[in-house]
Structure formats: C-alpha cells, structure tokens
Amino acid sequence: MRFLGPHACEEALARGELHVLRMAPTVWGRFANLREAARSAGVVVHQEPMESLDRRAEGVRHQGVLGEGAALRLQEMPDLLDRIRERGNSALVLVLDGITDPHNLGAILRSAAGAAVDGIIFPERRSAQVSDTVVRASAGTAGRVPLVRVVNLGRALDDLKEAGVWIYGLAAGPQSRDYRLESFRGPTALVLGSEGEGLHQKISERCDQLLEIPMPGGIESLNVSATAAICLFRVLAMREPN
C-alpha cells in the first residue's frame, strides 16, 4: 500500500502501518516532525528526488511525501456486530452498494471518520476496493473507520437486522420518505447505492425504509459522497440531546 502526501503518511504512521517514508529534498525540512516521528517508530526514511517520487506515485499528487507499508486491515462481520451490540442505540453503520469510483469512496471514508461511524460494509465484487487513490481521497483518514468486505451484501443486511439495526436506503422515489422526518434514535444503517444505478433491487427490498433528500433547486440527485455526508451528520444532529 502506498500513502501519498503528508497527511496520509501521518495517519499510516499513527496506525503502525508505515514501513518506509520517502521525502523530496524540497520538503525535507518542512516535514521534519513527520520525518523524526517516523524514525523514532523504526520506519526507514529516504530522501529521494521529486522525479523519483513522481514515478512511484504514477502521476498522483503527493506533495513530495510518499509512504509505503501494510494494506489497511479489514475487519470481519462478527466483530462489527459485536461493536453494534456494545454501542446500542448509538450504533451507526454505512453500507455501500457498489460504489465504483475510488474518489467517491475516499470522500465517503473521510465523512465516515468525521462522524465516528462504527463500520463500513462494502461488497467484494462490483465495488471500488481500498487503494492508494482511495486513501489519498480520504486525506489519510481511511484507516480510522472499521472496514468490512463481504461476499453477499444482502446477507450482511440480514445480519444487521438480527442485531437490531434499522436499515435506511437512500433512494428517491414514490416509496421514499423525507430524510428530515426521521429521528434516527436507534441503531442505524445507511445504505448508499452506486453512482449510476443507485440501490440494487434486492438491496432496496431489504431496507426497512427508503429515504430521499428533497431537491428544491430542481436537480435530480447529489453525488453519492455528498449524500453520505449530509445523512451521516443529520443522524448525529438528531441524536444530540435537546
């Protein structure tokens, strides 16, 4: 796994996933704190020409700082279910039904980290996987939220229901309810569909309630990462004590 940019490297270092840190001479002094912290943690630190880092980053912006290390650790579904039971009514989970754009996935992970989401479930197939681009798009926060990759997303939703989680699917339509009318007081899962197709029918049918965000400006829909951010922080706002 590559970590592109100082923020991504700082996050990887904090998680113990950074093994090698490479820095361009032009930023060697600017990021001295990161360099010294990495050395103190036993990370190998190299100074390399910017051109070399550009080749390693394959055209992705890196600000003269590039790290290498272990891939983000994925959790198992039983671990997430245990976490949900411990959290009770405060539990909040994201379920991603085929998000294929790594930049969208990274932005969703950043919002999820900001909202202290208990876990993100995503499918093994027909979905963006956690990559260098995703980590970069998340501004290095991808490892803050437990990630659970499953073979069968429908079965994962069934497991959530058995754990007492109420499943909300984000999809505009005649069966959908204004998201502002929900209290979100119990254990909650928000299900987001793919950029093009939205929720798959079998996933939609497993949701306890479909929600939509009103669009008074007349546009058809929001980017999926914007939808995730709006709904996550709506849940947190509704749960704040009066």
pLDDT digits (tens, 9 = 90+) for 103-115: 888 889 889 988 9
Average of per-residue pLDDT across 169-176: 87
The listed CATH number (3.40.50.10470, 3.40.1280.10, 3.40.50.720, 3.40.50.450) that belongs to domain 77-239 = 3.40.1280.10
Strands across the sheet containing 188-193 = 147-150, 119-123, 92-97, 188-193, 166-170, 209-212, 177-178
Confidence of residue 139 (pLDDT cuts 50, 70, 90): low
pLDDT digits (tens, 9 = 90+) for 21-72: 999 999 999 999 999 999 998 899 999 999 998 888 877 788 899 988 866 7
**pLDDT at site 28:** 92
Q: Average pLDDT, whole number, for the chain?
A: 88
pLDDT for residue 140 is more than 70: no
Confidence of residue 172 (pLDDT cuts 50, 70, 90): confident
98 φ/ψ sector (left φ>0, alpha ψ -120 to 50, else beta): left
Contact indicator for 81, 163 with CB cutoff of 8 Å: yes
pLDDT digits (tens, 9 = 90+) for 150-161: 999 999 999 999
pLDDT for residue 102 is more than 90: no
The listed CATH number (3.40.50.720, 3.40.50.300, 3.30.1330.30, 3.20.20.140) that belongs to domain 2-69 = 3.30.1330.30
**pLDDT at site 194:** 80
Average of per-residue pLDDT across 230-239: 93
**pLDDT at site 23:** 93
Average of per-residue pLDDT across 177-188: 92
CATH 3.40.1280.10 domain range(s) in the chain: 77-239
CA 238, CA 160: separation in Å to the nearest integer? 21
Name the range with the highest mean pLDDT among 79-93, 129-143, 172-186, 215-229: 79-93
CATH 3.30.1330.30 domain range(s) in the chain: 2-69
